[in-house]
Structure 1
Amino acid sequence: MTTKKLWLSLALVMASSFAVLLFFGNDIYRKAPPIPAKVISETGEVLFTGQDIKDGQNVWQSIGGQTVGSIWGHGAYIAPDWTADYLHRESLAMLTALAEKDGKAYNSLSSEEQLVYKERMKHDLRTNTFKSTDNTITYSASRAKVFHEMAGYYTKLFMSDPSFSLLRSQYAIKEGTIQDPERMRLMAASLHGVPGCVSLKDLMARASHLPTTGPMMNW
């Protein structure tokens, strides 16, 4: 093969490679989960904004990003996939909140009664409340309540709550990974905002099998 043909082959390979990169890069951009301007409760309380989600992603990246768990089901070696972890814990908390709203304890209900609340939980989480007119998502009272509970959970995990020492050890997360409350608020919004904007139909099926404690290896 002549030198000219070798150069032409190299040029063809490079052109093909960049074409593939551009195609999939554009595809990823088009299919990226939408980020709303803000998420509010039924009473009008602003739970978090789109900028909070973006700033929270920067906080997560600053503490190690993919080396501290993962997002969107990419798989984690020690710490969990936070998207699945959040959906799982949010789903369990929603079941408790919905039952309490009726004056009942979810864990004390029969299997048949629990099925009723599972369906209500799925309906609440999967209902699209996005309004394109103001780029806003509205949460039910139960989900807004659970959002605050989840923010408290992750604050204890990533900051310095002594009751989470064992779990931090299992996840290989050092105590006080995040020390500033505002940075923690942003990261909690991001952990919630990412699964809140992706397809719950697909992710909830995976989250239902997620253990609540202990390391999740390549989940």
Structure 2
Amino acid sequence: MLEISVVVGIDLMGSLFSVFFRNYRNFTRIDKEARMTVRSLKWASIICFVVAMAILLGGGIAMKKDLAPYPGKVAGPDGALLFGRDDIMNGQNVYQRYGLMDQGAVWGYGTQRGPEFSALSLHILAEAVGDYHASRDYGKPYAALDELQIKLVDAKTAHEIKLNRYDSATDTLKLTAAQVEGVNRITAYWNGMFSQGFQRFGLLPDTIADSRERLDISRFFFWTAWAAGTLRPGKDYSYTNNWPPDRRVGNVPSTGTYFYSIAGVFALLLVLGLFVFWIHRHHIWYGESKGVALADKLIDMPLTTSQYYAAKFFIVVIMLFLVQTTFGGLLAHYTIHPGSFYFAFVGKFISYNWAKSWHLQLMVFWIATTWMASAIRAGSFWSWGVSGRSCCSAA
């Protein structure tokens, strides 16, 4: 229900704010017999905003309460400390600092151009646990097992990964010997990936140059794999609702996954349908547009000093937009030919995640600059009227 409520709340808030703010001046000109007034739209917008924010805040509190625990200590079967919460959090900071969410993803959240870090780590963990039991139980590698032996080892692997060994009383996660082998294999894999690079994923050599940071991020990726595979206390699904999927560890979509995914889509369509009905029911945006006549008047109005200065803002906007689209073109090229470009130095020094980060940031910059320039351009008309005076230079 939370997912449906959030979708409905956001749609209502966005729709009504769009109607109110885009058409405020038009609504002030409609006759008294109109069903929707500026006052009613204003209160509808405020109510929708408050309700939607309450739903979002409530969802955030619920998510924080149900978040997979960051264990204070991660120990081996003999109780020896392997690493702790600080190492996991440091690894999470490394993941964020290098903008790797603009390269790959964790639990499905990210760019997904590169590796799905949690899914790959979970699969490496499953392979390590499976190899451990194949060697111990049958004296041969997993690849050499027969069909029955593979099924037995897979069942044992899934059970071992699914079993929640986190003790909230001592804030300790105790791993089995097979899982410790998984930790070591995950560490070795990501250490090599971030030091040597991997062109298919668009990872350059020395993406993370510091060995300590590579160790920390591997701890973080192990934690994401543990949370993705381990059952919630008292539930039959993992902390991430069996995501990412991996049949080898028993991660298959739950009933709730199908229900909320389908219900969320239907809720979105329902809200959009109600909004369209509301628009036509109250004849909003019907008749001749008053914006055209208003625009014609604006063309004939004299420009103020501040409005002339606003032109400099738009020059900056054009430059930022051109740089942003250049990065966009580079990203499109990297999608087909990762880690390479017509000019070799570009592919050697500009990584996909770096280009993606700036592509997004530049979009924010030119949109914000456009809003400021538009406010200066229009502010003189609404605040001072057509007097030729500048709102910025008036004495």
Same-fold call, TM cutoff 0.5: yes
User: Does the 8 Å CA contact 1:79/1:172 hold for their aligned counterparts?
Assistant: yes
* Residues 30-75 of structure 1 deviation map (CA, whole Å, 9 limit, x = unaligned): 2211111111001222222112111111101111132121111336
Q: Which has the larger radius of gyration?
A: 2
Question: Structure 1's 193 and 119: CA in aligned 2 closer, same or farther, altered over 3 A?
Answer: same
Deviation at 1:3, TM superposition (A): 3.7
2:96 is aligned to 61
2:184 is aligned to 148
Question: Structure 1's 146 and 10: CA in aligned 2 closer, same or farther, altered over 3 A?
Answer: closer
Alignment match of 1:194 (pick from 224, 232, 251): 224
Q: What is the alpha-carbon distance in structure 1 between the residues aligned to residue 110 and residue 95 of structure 2? A: 16
Aligned residue pairs, count = 204
1:30 is aligned to 65
Q: CA RMSD in A?
A: 2.1
* Residues 123-168 of structure 1 deviation map (CA, whole Å, 9 limit, x = unaligned): 21112212222110111111112211210111000112xxxx5xx1
Q: Secondary structure, in 3 states, of the residue corresponding to 2:75?
A: strand
Question: Structure 1's 205 and 155: CA in aligned 2 closer, same or farther, altered over 3 A?
Answer: closer
User: Does the 8 Å CA contact 1:158/1:177 hold for their aligned counterparts?
Assistant: yes
Task: Give ranges in structure 2 of 5+ residues lacking alignment.
Answer: 1-35, 231-236, 249-335, 337-395
Q: What is the alpha-carbon distance in structure 2 between the residues aligned to residue 178 and residue 129 of structure 1? A: 31
1:206 is aligned to 245
User: Does the 8 Å CA contact 1:97/1:146 hold for their aligned counterparts?
Assistant: no
User: Does the 8 Å CA contact 1:35/1:50 hold for their aligned counterparts?
Assistant: yes
Aligned partner of 2:73: which letter?
Answer: K
Q: Secondary structure, in 3 states, of the residue corresponding to 1:133?
A: coil
Give % identity. Answer: 23
User: Does the 8 Å CA contact 2:72/2:171 hold for their aligned counterparts?
Assistant: yes
Q: Which of the pair has the greater relative contact order for Cα pairs under 8 Å at 6+ separation?
A: 1
Q: How does 1:1-219 map to 2 (within 5 A)?
A: 1-74=36-109, 76-102=111-137, 103-160=139-196, 165=197, 168-200=198-230, 201=237, 202-203=241-242, 206-208=245-247
User: Does the 8 Å CA contact 2:161/2:229 hold for their aligned counterparts?
Assistant: no
Aligned partner of 1:106: which letter?
Answer: Y
Q: What is the alpha-carbon distance in structure 2 between the residues aligned to residue 121 and residue 199 of structure 1? A: 11
Deviation at 1:204, TM superposition (A): 7.2
Q: What is the alpha-carbon distance in structure 2 between the residues aligned to residue 8 and residue 17 of structure 1? A: 14
Q: Secondary structure, in 3 states, of the residue corresponding to 2:174?
A: strand
TM-score (norm 2): 0.48
* Residues 100-140 of structure 1 deviation map (CA, whole Å, 9 limit, x = unaligned): 22322221111101111111111211122122221101111
Tell me which protein shows more helix as a share of its residues: 2
